[in-house]
Amino acid sequence: MFGIGHTELLIVGVVALLLFGQRLPEVARSFGKSLTEFKKGIQGVKDEFNDAVHSSSSAARIDYDDERETAAPRFEPPTSPPRAD
């Protein structure tokens, strides 16, 4: 599980028990609810994104030909040798 061995998981459990004591079930329940709400929020964002991508009637088309970037001048090496000043 997540690359954590049994020993590390046991140590984390003991530390959590020492920190939270009798409140550990309440803290775990709260953490689970928060994680569920986070997943629902992420799924909602994904659904809105997919709806926006797949609905071509509401999406505005962008014509990129009008927004051409100006090109930098082409480098041309000097034709004469450098001067010694």
pLDDT digits (tens, 9 = 90+) for 4-37: 889 998 999 899 889 888 888 898 899 999 999 9
Does residue 69 belong to any structural domain of this protein? no
> What's the domain range around 33?
24-53
pLDDT (average), residues 32-61: 84
Per the prediction, the chain carries an average pLDDT of 82
Does residue 62 belong to any structural domain of this protein? no
Does residue 30 belong to any structural domain of this protein? yes
pLDDT above 70 coverage of the chain, percent: 80
Does residue 63 belong to any structural domain of this protein? no
pLDDT (average), residues 55-69: 58
Does residue 31 belong to any structural domain of this protein? yes
Q: What does the DSSP 8-state code read for residue 37?
A: H
Number of domains in the chain: 1
Tell me the pLDDT band of 78, cut-offs 50, 70 and 90: confident
Q: How far apart are CA 81 and CA 83, in angstroms?
A: 7
